Structures are given as C-alpha cells and as structure tokens.
Chain A
C-alpha cells in the first residue's frame, strides 16, 4: 500500500490541534485585553500595561521551568520557596560585601544545587517528586527565616534595585527577562534532542531507557532547570522589592503550575510547550490586574483562577479525547 492510500485511515495529526490550542489561548488573552479596555479607562495606560507585564513576567519564568518538570511527569512544589530563598541569598551576599555579579552567580548556583538535590532524591532515594519538593518547600522557608532571623534584609545596591524599574525600548526590563529565558527554553525543548528526551521520559521512562536515553540525567536536567529558573525569579523579585525575605512568593508554585496547566501542559507528562505556560501566566496576570481595576474583591480573583483552571483543562481534555 502507499502512504497516500491510507491518508484518511488514522486520526487527525496532532500538530494542527496544538497550534489551534495555542491560538485559542492567545485569543483568550486578547479578548480579555479588549474587554478590559472597554470596561475600564485605566487598562490601556502605559503605566498599567508595564505593571501587567512586570506582574506576569515572574510567574511566566517560573511556569516555563515548571513545565520542563511536568513534561517528565513530575512536579516541583518548591519553586515559590526557592524564589524567597534566592531573594534572601542575594540580599545576604550583597550585605556581606560580595560584588553584585558574583552574588547573582552564587544565587543561581544555589538554584542549580537545589534542583540537583531534588533529582537526587527522586533518582537515588526513590522518593516521589511531590514529596521531595514539598520537603524543600518547607525546609527552604525555614532556612531562609533562620538566616534572616525572621526579618528582612534590605538591599542597598542601587544598580540592582533600579534594574526592575528600568525600561528598554519602552518595555519593562522584567518582561525582557521573559524573552531572555523563553528563547533558549524554546530551542531547548522544541529543537534539541534534550527536549525530546524530556517528553520521552514523561511518556514512558522504561521505553526511553531501553532506547538509550539517560533517564537519570534527563530528570536531573529538568529539576535543575526548574530550580534555576526559580532562583533567577528570586533575583528579579529581590530587585523589584529591594529586600530579601524568606516568606516572599508564598503560593507562587501554584501560580506556576496553574499557568503551565492553563497553557496546555498535561500533569500526566509528555504534553507541553514553552509558549503555553507563557500565555497561561499572562492570562492569570491579566485576570488579577483586571479584577483590581474593576475593584473586584481580591478573594474573588482566587475563585476565578480556580474556575478558569477547571474550564480550560476540561476543554483541553475534550480536545484530546476528540483527537483519539
């Protein structure tokens, strides 16, 4: 038989659907912006848009890192705590007189180490990802509080704190950081073999192993990337609020997971992209921003976020079932 002869004998290819889903999310985001533009006077002001981009930027970077882990069918609950801890680390290092560049590198390396520790727990100790990252979630907050003795460390380095307020080409520098992370992340996940290995491990780690994929190394890679992204966000947060505080970024891990899931990542692994969590993060940021502008009780924002997760993931499920 020829390939052409069987063209209609199998289900619809997947890629078209993925693009469609991406467009749907983009459509939703634009729709929200349009509606908020009509409903409020202040939405389309440069100030608010900058603010929105800043708000969304940090969640977006966390969500990209988180997505790597979720694609391997894992989860990283520690990212919020890592952000807080990294803010303490950089503030402490700067207060101790360490040069800025070195303080930033050390903070990022701490992220690498935390990720490696997660992978170690999963690969060598056989712990579920949920457990090991839950353990570091609580421990890191504790260590951070111990270092600061429960208070905050102020950051006096002006160059560092000015960064988050700066614009480049009229766009907030924090948003530029999203691009700085997203482009390599896209190349890594979608264009390199390491990305393919993440998907393979998430789909069936035994099949990946028997195909010569170094499964352990792939898991290390995923968790290190996630924690490093989180440490990077910790730097951005420290720059934005000018302090190091271990209790910052409370609940951001859930924001990151929600963004990733809204962006089409499957918690069962092997399904996900880089653009999805980015859109998810900015959809969440827009909802929060819009709710503030519309004077909606902030408690409602949480409810709306929850409802949105259910609706979007439900439709995603329908789409997947449809393509079977």
Chain B
C-alpha cells in the first residue's frame, strides 16, 4: 500500500513500498535518543530524547527559534545531526538525506508552499512520480486521478488549474493532498494553518484525522493553542533548543504549555488598554479600487480599527490602495480633515502612513540583505547628509530598533533571512518605527509568530496608541482582532459588510458575516 490512495504507478511497477503498519499502533515508530544539532559553536538543538508513537497526533510547540525547524529538518534528512541516535521501527537509521527519509515514509508539509507555481495542480501532485506510458506523460489520467483524490478528501479544488491561480491556503491543501497520496507513514505539518481560512483549516483537520485513522503518525507544529488541543494526542514543548517536556493532551492545559514555552506566565496575551480616543486621523469615503469597493471608514488617534475577513476579501487590497500601491478608482481620502490624493507609496509615507504588509517574504523584507539595511530602508533620505549616508546615524538607528524591539541578533549585519518568523516581523515593524507615522497599518502581523513575540507586538500597539497614533489591524485570526480592535469592520468580497464596537457581536456573528451564509 503506497498510502491513502493507490493511484501511483509505482505500485504497478512493484517499486519499493512501505508496510501499512510497520509497528503496532501505540508502539514507538520513531525514537530520538540524545539527538543534537550544532552549527559551529551554536547548539540549535540540545540533545533531545523524544518518542513518537505509531498512529498518534503529536503536537510540537515552542517559540520561534526554539528548535522546531531544526528538528523537522533533522527528521526529513535536510540536515545531518551532530550526535545522537534515531530509531525507526526499532532499527537505527541515519536519515542523512531527504531521499532516505521519503523512502522510509517520512514526509513534511511546510508552512511555505514548496511546489511549482506554473504547473497544474495535478502535475504538482504527481511531480517526480508521473504516470507515464513508455516515457510519455499520461496527462489526462493524472488529472483525473488527482481530481478523484481531491474530491475524496473534500477539497473543492480543480486538478487542471494552474497552481499559482489558487490562494496560498489552497496551495497548502494541494501540498497536503500530495503528501497524503504518496507512501506516507509519518507526516510532519509545519504550521499548516498559518495561511488557511477557517474553512480550509477545517478541511485540513478532517484530512489529518483521516490519515491518523489509516495508521499514519502525525507531527503537528503550530503556534495556535486551540488547534493543538483540538487535534493532538500528545504535545512536546521546545524552548531555546531544549526539549522541556511532553504531556498527554488530556493532562495539560494552555497555561501550563505557555509557561513551559516561555518560562514565564502570561496573564494576558491580548494586552488591551483603554485609551482616550483622539481626533480623526484618516477617513475614507466610498474608496474603490482593484479588489475593494465602496469602503468608508475612519481611524482616530488612540484606537485600533480591526479589519476581519477571509483571505481575498479585500482587506489587504484596501490597505494597498490606501497606501498608494494600487490605483484608487474612485472615492475620497481625508487625512486629518483635509482631502488628499495618494498616488504612490512615498506620498503615503510623507503623510504619515506606515504599512507592515501581509507577506514578510514577498513584500516586507529584503531577505538576503542585512537587518540594518532593512530597518533603515524607509529613512535613508533622513540618514543622508550631503551625498553620502551618515554612517553613525545609520548604525545608531538600526541598533536602536534592534534593541527596542528585542530582535534576537548579535549584530545588524546578519541577513534578514537568518531570522525566525517573529524576529522578521519585528524587523518589518522596526522599519516603520524609525520612520515615525501617525497611522500604522498592520496586515497579518502575527502569522507564524510565537506567543511571546505576539504579546510583545500587542504591547507595542499600546505604545504606539499612547503616542497618539491610530492603527488599522488586518487579521484572519478572529480572536486577535476581536480582542484588540476598538472597532471591527468585516469584509466580504471586496465590501465592508458589517461593523462592531469593542467586543461587539459574538465570534459566530462576525464569522457568519465574513463567510456570508
């Protein structure tokens, strides 16, 4: 049996297949003894001993930089361990390269989709394992087979469509379907729901349970506590490269896990202070542009205006329109009472608008450049005296943001790509703190960010509000906007369809308005 679906031709050719239940359910399938990884002098993973039981859903939680990614890379053979032993079904194994891991049935679904965007969904699902007829691809057969798999999984996705025409969330589902289709004994999910809508998450969870029912062992990495409690049988906590404990899910709770993860208790993640609301900073009237229609809203000093909706509902598009990145077709923008036109990003910045965009990777950061350059990018004109940059001011500004935001790096010269998600988000925010704005737009600021950093970001919001700024907070994560926003606007299909006061309406109301049922 090659997996859930026997559509792979591998089977026909009698290539290596994996046994369905390599070990009895509940027995150790993968055992790590003193597994350790060092990069030079840096110990990314301190000797960890962990056991994964056959057929369980094993969650792994920890802050960014806790060693979760290192652990995944070790298990999938992307990197080699420095020391320690790994036992697969009781036998010692090397897991020295990805091929070996895959041959044993260890697969991973990554947070960022690693598929070919220009190929069709079906072609991606069969990538590297195409059905062929004497070397010629059987495209029709593959599309049909892929469609059958997708339908069966309950994913409403067209197998013939080009992958890039799907949303990131849908692409994630394709990646999962691909892993499910292949011979998988042991499937690792790395924050799979970071870009998924609620419906997509629900579909994914059903699939995960189903795989579990088939005897597949699941490792589930997530920042979202409620997902861990919904899905997992057991949970292991990593902190600063150390495995600090494993609990049965029935014998633990949020508070204990968070305490283990950050070694301190957060009495309140959603830090909300009620501040006096000041004058209106920004008002839009009937703003219409690509992807959003007739949006009228206002932001006042000292308040957070939340924009909630499914991905593609027009929230980010509205933000880009407001920021001058996308042309606005009609409608008016009033800045501190005066009518303004914003034609490009520079104009928006000069007014005092800052945008921390949705995707850190694609819009927020120059990943292969140093942290310092990223932080200073919006303000180089101010760091320049004469023709050249004032080196002292450049260094001071970068170092100040790194210090203030507690970005975990030895120097500003480290490349942004070397940072974890939470630290990258801090760099994006740091850019705009040094710019100094009156209106901050945060688009999905806490995607892929750990609990500790989340709390830091929320405290930062409070600090900005105290200084008299206004905030537009865009999020797909309802508890976040619900708990933080003074006013919450719901977007659906490009339009603003409902508005609530602070904690107005129930979660269900807001969700229903966003989905439109």
Question: With A6-B409, A6-B410 in contact, is A212–B384 under 8 Å at CB?
Answer: no
Contact B377 A9 (CB under 8 A): no
**Using Cβ atoms and an 8 Å threshold, which residues of chain B touch A96?**
none
Interface residues of B in 375-416 (CB under 8 A from A): 376-378, 380-381, 383-384, 387-389, 402-403, 406, 408-411, 413-415
Picked from A9, A14, A193, A210, the residue with its CB within 8 Å of the CB of B384 is: A193
Whether B250 is near chain A, meaning CB under 8 Å from some CB there, is no
Instruction: Identify the stretch in B88-96, B279-287, B357-365 within 8 Å (CB) of chain A at 4 or more residues.
Output: B357-365
**Using Cβ atoms and an 8 Å threshold, which residues of chain A touch B357?**
207, 210
Question: With A15-B413, A196-B380 in contact, is A6–B366 under 8 Å at CB?
Answer: no
Contact A1 B363 (CB under 8 A): no
**Using Cβ atoms and an 8 Å threshold, which residues of chain B touch A213?**
377
Picked from B374, B403, B410, the residue with its CB within 8 Å of the CB of A7 is: B410
Docked Cα-Cα span, A86 to B42, in Å, equals 55
Contact A13 B369 (CB under 8 A): no
Whether A170 is near chain B, meaning CB under 8 Å from some CB there, is no
Contact A9 B42 (CB under 8 A): yes
CB distance from B291 to the nearest CB of A (A): 16
**Using Cβ atoms and an 8 Å threshold, which residues of chain A touch B403?**
3
**Using Cβ atoms and an 8 Å threshold, which residues of chain A touch B377?**
196, 200, 207-208, 211-213
Contact B366 A13 (CB under 8 A): no
Picked from A196, A197, A206, A212, the residue with its CB within 8 Å of the CB of B363 is: A206
CB distance from B373 to the nearest CB of A (A): 6
Contact B365 A204 (CB under 8 A): yes
Q: What 0/1 pattern do residues 27 to 69 of A give for CB contact below 8 A with B?
A: 0000000000000000000000000000000000000000000
Whether A296 is near chain B, meaning CB under 8 Å from some CB there, is no
**Using Cβ atoms and an 8 Å threshold, which residues of chain A touch B409?**
3, 6, 10
Whether B315 is near chain A, meaning CB under 8 Å from some CB there, is no
Docked Cα-Cα span, A79 to B175, in Å, equals 44
Interface residues of B in 210-254 (CB under 8 A from A): none
Docked Cα-Cα span, A187 to B388, in Å, equals 7
**Using Cβ atoms and an 8 Å threshold, which residues of chain A touch B419?**
10
Contact A193 B381 (CB under 8 A): yes
Whether B30 is near chain A, meaning CB under 8 Å from some CB there, is no
Task: Please give me the residue from chain B that is nearest to A324 by CB atom.
Answer: B418
**Using Cβ atoms and an 8 Å threshold, which residues of chain B touch A139?**
none
Docked Cα-Cα span, A154 to B367, in Å, equals 52
Whether B349 is near chain A, meaning CB under 8 Å from some CB there, is yes
Docked Cα-Cα span, A207 to B431, in Å, equals 11
Contact B366 A208 (CB under 8 A): yes
**Using Cβ atoms and an 8 Å threshold, which residues of chain A touch B368?**
203, 270-271
Picked from B42, B362, B373, B381, the residue with its CB within 8 Å of the CB of A200 is: B373
Docked Cα-Cα span, A3 to B431, in Å, equals 19
- Give the interface size class of chain B: 35 or more
**Using Cβ atoms and an 8 Å threshold, which residues of chain A touch B411?**
13
**Using Cβ atoms and an 8 Å threshold, which residues of chain B touch A192?**
384, 387-389
Contact B369 A200 (CB under 8 A): yes
Task: Please give me the residue from chain B that is nearest to A7 by CB atom.
Answer: B410
Whether A98 is near chain B, meaning CB under 8 Å from some CB there, is no
**Using Cβ atoms and an 8 Å threshold, which residues of chain A touch B362?**
204, 206-207
Question: What is the predominant secondary structure among interface residues of chain A facing chain B?
Answer: loop
Contact B373 A212 (CB under 8 A): no
Whether A11 is near chain B, meaning CB under 8 Å from some CB there, is yes
Task: Please give me the residue from chain B that is nearest to A191 by CB atom.
Answer: B388
Whether B323 is near chain A, meaning CB under 8 Å from some CB there, is yes
Contact B408 A9 (CB under 8 A): yes
A residues contacting the other copy or chain, number (CB 8 A)? 34
Contact A8 B363 (CB under 8 A): no
Docked Cα-Cα span, A196 to B39, in Å, equals 30
Contact B388 A203 (CB under 8 A): no
**Using Cβ atoms and an 8 Å threshold, which residues of chain A touch B389?**
191-193, 196
Docked Cα-Cα span, A108 to B65, in Å, equals 53
CB distance from B405 to the nearest CB of A (A): 12
Contact A196 B373 (CB under 8 A): yes
Docked Cα-Cα span, A207 to B355, in Å, equals 11
Contact A3 B410 (CB under 8 A): yes
Task: Please give me the residue from chain A that is nearest to B411 by CB atom.
Answer: A13
Docked Cα-Cα span, A324 to B414, in Å, equals 10
Docked Cα-Cα span, A187 to B391, in Å, equals 12
Task: Please give me the residue from chain B that is nearest to A4 by CB atom.
Answer: B410
**Using Cβ atoms and an 8 Å threshold, which residues of chain B touch A9?**
42, 65, 408, 410
**Residue in B323, B381, B414, B415 with the greatest tally of chain A CB atoms within 10 Å:** B415
Whether A214 is near chain B, meaning CB under 8 Å from some CB there, is yes
Contact B413 A14 (CB under 8 A): yes
CB distance from B272 to the nearest CB of A (A): 25
Q: What 0/1 pattern do residues 5 to 29 of A give for CB contact below 8 A with B?
A: 0111111111100000000000000
**Using Cβ atoms and an 8 Å threshold, which residues of chain A touch B39?**
11
Question: With A193-B383, A209-B345 in contact, is A10–B366 under 8 Å at CB?
Answer: no
Picked from B323, B345, B369, B383, the residue with its CB within 8 Å of the CB of A270 is: B369
Contact B366 A203 (CB under 8 A): yes
Docked Cα-Cα span, A200 to B378, in Å, equals 11
**Using Cβ atoms and an 8 Å threshold, which residues of chain B touch A85?**
none
Docked Cα-Cα span, A12 to B408, in Å, equals 14
Interface residues of A in 171-212 (CB under 8 A from B): 187, 191-193, 196-197, 199-200, 203-204, 206-212
Task: Please give me the residue from chain B that is nearest to A209 by CB atom.
Answer: B345
Docked Cα-Cα span, A1 to B345, in Å, equals 35
Whether B370 is near chain A, meaning CB under 8 Å from some CB there, is yes
**Using Cβ atoms and an 8 Å threshold, which residues of chain B touch A14?**
370, 413-415
Question: With A208-B377, A210-B325, A213-B377 in contact, is A10–B388 under 8 Å at CB?
Answer: no
CB distance from A285 to the nearest CB of B (A): 30
**Using Cβ atoms and an 8 Å threshold, which residues of chain A touch B364?**
207, 210
CB distance from A21 to the nearest CB of B (A): 15
**Using Cβ atoms and an 8 Å threshold, which residues of chain A touch B431?**
211
Picked from B366, B374, B387, B414, the residue with its CB within 8 Å of the CB of A11 is: B414
Picked from A8, A13, A197, A212, the residue with its CB within 8 Å of the CB of B414 is: A13
CB distance from B246 to the nearest CB of A (A): 25
Docked Cα-Cα span, A203 to B373, in Å, equals 11
Interface residues of A in 190-243 (CB under 8 A from B): 191-193, 196-197, 199-200, 203-204, 206-214
Docked Cα-Cα span, A200 to B365, in Å, equals 9
Chain A interface (Cβ < 8 Å from any Cβ of B): 1, 3, 6-15, 187, 191-193, 196-197, 199-200, 203-204, 206-214, 270-271, 324
Closest 10 CB pairs of A and B: A203-B366, A193-B380, A13-B413, A191-B388, A211-B377, A211-B378, A212-B349, A7-B410, A204-B366, A212-B346
A-B contact pairs, 10 of them (CB 8 A): A3-B402, A3-B410, A9-B65, A10-B418, A193-B389, A199-B373, A207-B362, A210-B364, A211-B377, A324-B418
Known: A6-B409, A8-B41, A211-B431. 10 other contacts (CB 8 A): A14-B413, A192-B389, A193-B383, A196-B376, A204-B365, A207-B374, A209-B325, A210-B363, A212-B346, A213-B377
